[in-house]
Chain A
């Protein structure tokens, strides 16, 4: 019996509300299992960024509303994680580029992982499984005027050796996907499909 290939791991960090979107992992894992034959763990994991255990989970999801200020051990582990080829997906749960999460998280990522740059909307991330011709799909929170009242045209990324190592979103997918998987049946179009692309990209590039 081999271990599941994919475990959604939510990053726990000292400074903020890391667990503000606790259903996202379960929901995206469910979607990956529905659309692909990738072996997934049905139970997402929570891993402390200050623990070397982060290196056991090559996919990490980090979100929150509050300021992000890594401790020394968190910074060291995140740097090590990215350097070894891990994939860090960071989403601003505020959907606000003037918000504290965005300002502090982007600064912390710049210090720890490198400079974030706009990801072209033709990037293979948008066609790995499902095709998103216009780039990152818009979220309902972008459209209803919450947060910064902007529709963000691009995601941002740190790219190392041609691979995304840090994917940063200001689109608030944390709110968009934070519901129980059973509720997918109420959507005419499954809004987690882009999450499947993110996971499959992380596993294949």
Chain B
């Protein structure tokens, strides 16, 4: 009798366990796929009625849509992980130069030996060579998106629209510096007006002689203190959004006191024997610019620990101080590329302050697929075991059923042996 009670208790426990097991939530299902089958797998996983544990074995990084899809599944409760044996690392970013030429500056990184190719909508532009390549290159233009591809892995960047500039006005005492600064800017596509005071009564002018006005000029370049002193309205011009470049000793003019937060120190002359192409001098002399304690100006070029080119904001506009007054010597007597370097240097300085028309920000200046993958899904993880948790969930009801039936059968046999009903 006592054994029969024990068997009935066992049967009751097995029944309870069976019921509880049937009532508990469904266990996770592990699903593993390769990158090539990811699109189909995502659809299946999305339609599945259980919350799966998902793992993707990648050979290339999924595109942005599939990455977003995986992230959405993870946000919906799925456990999402990824692994890869070897992924080509590519990244590309593209920016339009603010100069009139509108060159596209391409920053690219490829950590792979898969013969990376840079292309736009019209076709391949260039083939980069070598692994572990990090490049900053200029291309004249690009049609549509720039795509950097290595071993099937693409990184994509959208090239923004070129900046539209108004004219630039150069005001100076006539000399080689003014001549060659004007030439340099014109060579880089700027439309240049000039006012060169050759005597108290005579100005050699090209373009309008109207007062400074941002509707006419995007920047004004004052090449010396005489030009700065005799040009009214530079402060208002900058306040209204225009760019002002104070070169040579123009920073010393009282009329531009409000524009600068630096002081031009004594003019230093290059030591005897200095080569004209020595860019530590950019000519044969310089005015170190001493920044004041007041905030606002940053040095963008220093020589011997002292600033030689500085830039600051002034209300809506920008002001640059250039501590060189004989850059023409660098151009004329410098190295083989000094003409191009001189032009590019002056153009960059003017572009850094010139007023720009408002443009829609570029939504996608560049992409780094591997970084996006880490950002969306975290670091790679080992492939999860496909059977973890599954065996127990499937076998347990059978074990409990066997216990239940066994206990009931044994209890029935015992009762029949003693003749009980």
Contact = CB atoms under 8 A, between A and B. Distances in A.
Residue of B179, B186, B285, B326 ringed by the most chain A CB atoms within 10 A: B179
B174 A56 contact: no
A84 B332 CA distance: 6
Contacts of A204: 174, 178-179, 194, 196, 198, 204
B325 interface: yes
A74 B175 CA distance: 26
A86 B174 CA distance: 15
Contacts of A162: 186
A161 to B, nearest CB: 7
Interface in B177-211: 178-180, 183, 186-187, 194, 196-200, 202, 204
A85 B325 CA distance: 18
A163 interface: yes
A82 to B, nearest CB: 11
B345 interface: no
Nearest to A127: B204
B331 interface: yes
Contact of A84 (B199, B325, B339): B339
B257 to A, nearest CB: 22
Nearest to B325: A2
Contacts of B325: 2
A36 B187 contact: no
Contacts of A35: 199
A161 B339 contact: no
Interface in A68-115: 83-86
Contacts of B339: 83-85
A37 interface: yes
A36 B183 contact: no
A85 B175 contact: no
A205 to B, nearest CB: 7
A55 B204 contact: no
A117 B189 CA distance: 26
A8 interface: no
A5 B332 contact: no
Contact of A128 (B178, B194, B204): B204
A200 interface: yes
B183 A161 contact: yes
Interface string B53-86: 0000000000000000000000000000000000
B374 interface: no
B276 interface: yes
A83 B329 CA distance: 14
Residue of A35, A84, A161 ringed by the most chain B CB atoms within 10 A: A84
A52 B196 contact: no
B176 interface: yes
Interface in B324-375: 325-326, 328-329, 331-333, 338-339
Nearest to B284: A3
B198 A5 contact: no
Contacts of A37: 173, 197-200
A50 B194 CA distance: 34
A85 B180 contact: yes
A203 B183 contact: no
Interface in A164-205: 200, 202-205
A156 to B, nearest CB: 22
A133 interface: no
A85 B179 contact: yes
A13 interface: no
Contacts of B332: 55-56, 58, 84-86
A85 B204 contact: no
Interface in A124-162: 128-129, 161-162
Contacts of A128: 204
Contacts of B176: 5-6, 58, 203
Given A161-B187, A204-B179, A38 B331 contact: no
Interface in B279-301: 285
A39 interface: yes
A58 B174 contact: no
Contact of B328 (A39, A58, A161): A58
A35 B200 CA distance: 10
B276 A55 contact: yes
A6 B199 contact: no
A201 to B, nearest CB: 9
A5 B173 CA distance: 10
A6 B197 CA distance: 15
Contact of A5 (B175, B197, B202, B331): B175
Contacts of A203: 174-176, 178-179, 196
Nearest 10 CB-CB pairs, A to B?
A5-B175, A55-B333, A36-B198, A203-B174, A204-B204, A55-B332, A36-B199, A37-B199, A204-B196, A204-B174
26 contacts: A2-B285, A5-B175, A5-B176, A37-B173, A37-B200, A38-B173, A39-B175, A52-B333, A56-B276, A56-B329, A56-B332, A58-B180, A84-B332, A84-B339, A85-B183, A85-B332, A85-B339, A129-B198, A161-B183, A200-B198, A203-B174, A203-B175, A203-B196, A204-B179, A204-B194, A204-B196
Given A38-B173, A85-B180, 19 more contacts: A2-B325, A5-B175, A36-B202, A37-B200, A38-B175, A52-B333, A55-B332, A56-B332, A58-B179, A83-B339, A86-B332, A128-B204, A129-B198, A129-B204, A200-B198, A202-B179, A204-B178, A204-B179, A204-B196
Interface of A: 2-3, 5-6, 35-39, 52, 55-56, 58, 83-86, 128-129, 161-163, 200, 202-205
